[in-house]
Structure 1
Amino acid sequence: MADSSGEFVRSPNHFADRITSDGSSRWPVEPGRYRLVVSLACPWAHRAVIVRGLLGLEQAISLAVVDPIQDERSWRFTLDEDGRDPVLGIGFLSEAYLKADPGYTGGVSVPAVVDVPSGKLVSNDYPQITLDLSTQWREYHRPGAPDLYPEPLRAEIDAVVEPIFRYVNNGVYRCGFATSQQRYEQAYEGLFAELDRLSERLAGQRYLVGDSITEADIRLFTTLVRFDAVYHGHFKCNRHKLSEMPVLWAYARDLYQTEGFGETVDFDHIKRHYYQVHRSINPTGIVPLGPDPRAWLTPHDREVLS
């Protein structure tokens, strides 16, 4: 929602409990106990889908996918038989929120980690969820799983992702949901200034930090993969399309063509959610047919930077 100045303000994550391996929280790491609820349309949830798959945690943490179209009760399980999640037995994600806090009246967001035995929401703290999958669930990673948050690089990763969140991940929303020209222009300038900085950084190196994929790349990818399909037109982020920014376009295609990335992208869910749910921006609800997703499979030639 926008404040009195017209600036989009993202709501804080109300549920920030952590699942830990050392007994420091009330939620222990336990395979089969938790269910990750996501929307394939949502960039914040998309991060968790990618990390779960790259680390091989599919058997340890089950996955639920909600309908990309919300109603007044927010995310719903209408893709499942009888409109109920087969594991949690609920029709709306809000039911897990209310089991955790019966007096809760805030928004319902994904990703959400739910405790299956109690049906209670554990966390909707999307930045911490993926970090904990990398660090707390290490015992259950597949053999040879990548280290997406290596200790020697954590300070650099944290420093790189902070402006990515501020100006890119959240910046596109600050453009799209601004209600004043001034706030929109400020967000627009910040977004493209950061994309220019990232282009310079990636011109000579394949990944954002170090010589392999890290949490930083995943956080940037989920915004970039939605850029031309949604943010360029729908959110008025239209200085350039991603496909007109050579370095970032090649970088994004490189990740898309990496196992664990492209197969998690659902452009149908992405476009239907943004264009049909955000009626204040797109009153007709018409979903554009383009762009052609086959462009994501064209050669990127970034292997030479490895």
Structure 2
Amino acid sequence: MSVTPLAPVPTTQPTPAFRGRIGRDARSGHYAVPRRYRLHLSTACPDGLRIAVVHSLLGLAEACPVTFLDAVPDCPDGGHSALRPLYEASAHRYTGAAAGPVLSDDWSGRIVSTHAPDITRDLARHFGGGRAALYPCGAESETEAVERLCADGIERAAQNAGSAGGDPAALDKLLETLGALERWLAGRAYLIRDQITAADVELWCTLVQLDTVHRHHLDASAVQRIADHPELWAYARRLAAHPAFGAHLDLDGIARRHHARCRGLEAAGSAVQILDWAAHTAHVVERR
């Protein structure tokens, strides 16, 4: 895949509270041992959804157990009280939010990482066992380009387009990004290879957020223009029907999380659903 239509764009991500890595041997401190590590996440959270999908694609239910968190954090600072003991055990007098997702070490009772991209890469690299090549050799730059494109060209552009008063330039950027993806996906089942990769997980989760969260703050005309990308939304629909994707799509949780966090005004686009996500995942067996 040429990354020309998915050119790298600058982006800034919140600094993770913890960013340890799972290594290859005992000298790394955190080395790969089945059932040593545990995930704590909510699939209503975009990062939690990404990790959950990767976890299922890799078949890691036994090797790395998951503790699911409620869609809406129960602490005023946006953290989860269930995670507070882990944070306090991992950092002396920790005062920040005990937020998910978290990869913890059951041996030490401490946090390894709260950085979602590192978590998914380490799970795939050290526990994948060849089941799914989510990060194919030689595709690193393409995967990273897709991550940046989703963060800036879709996520941030949609947020800015739906802000108070709207931002026409942001909507133009969003539509330009979706148009480039529409042209790229024509005749392709997946984004950068002939199989599902981490790039597909990234794009699919971003499209879920676009339709279930961001469209609520866009006018109906903008949402109709977003929906007018049949290849892109057919791609999202196909992945939603895959058990590793659809089984984790908590539509009620996403809605509750959005309403608990959002203080923006709802726009006419709320009534223009792009995909009937529930219908496309109805046959998927819930695995939680």
Instruction: State TM-score, norm by structure 2.
Output: 0.80
Residue number in structure 2 paired with 1:124: 114
- How far has the Cα of 1:297 moved from its partner? 5.7
Helix, strand or coil: the match of 1:216?
A: helix
Residue number in structure 1 paired with 2:29: 26
Residue number in structure 1 paired with 2:242: 258
- Counterpart mapping for 1:1-306 below 5 A: 10-23=13-26, 25-70=28-73, 71-76=75-80, 91-138=81-128, 141=129, 145-175=131-161, 184-234=167-217, 239-240=222-223, 243-278=227-262, 280-281=263-264, 292-296=276-280
**Aligned CA distance change for structure 1 residues 164 and 294 (closer, same or farther; 3 Å):** closer
Gaps of at least 5 residues in structure 2 are 1-10, 283-288
Helix, strand or coil: the match of 2:223?
A: coil
**Aligned CA distance change for structure 1 residues 129 and 297 (closer, same or farther; 3 Å):** closer
Output the aligned Cα RMSD. 3.0
Helix, strand or coil: the match of 1:35?
A: strand
**Aligned CA distance change for structure 1 residues 97 and 137 (closer, same or farther; 3 Å):** same
Gaps of at least 5 residues in structure 1 are 1-7, 77-90, 299-306
Cα distance in 2, alignment partners of residues 148 and 109 from structure 1: 26
- How far has the Cα of 1:195 moved from its partner? 1.4
Cα distance in 2, alignment partners of residues 294 and 17 from structure 1: 36
**Aligned CA distance change for structure 1 residues 63 and 297 (closer, same or farther; 3 Å):** closer
**Aligned CA distance change for structure 1 residues 19 and 66 (closer, same or farther; 3 Å):** same
Alpha carbons 2:158, 2:214 under 8 Å: kept: yes
Cα distance in 2, alignment partners of residues 96 and 238 from structure 1: 46
> Normalized per residue, which structure has more helix?
2
- How far has the Cα of 1:296 moved from its partner? 2.7
Alpha carbons 1:275, 1:282 under 8 Å: kept: no
Cα distance in 1, alignment partners of residues 118 and 219 from structure 2: 29
- Matched residue pairs, number? 266
- How far has the Cα of 1:63 moved from its partner? 0.6
- How far has the Cα of 1:251 moved from its partner? 0.5
Alpha carbons 1:67, 1:75 under 8 Å: kept: no
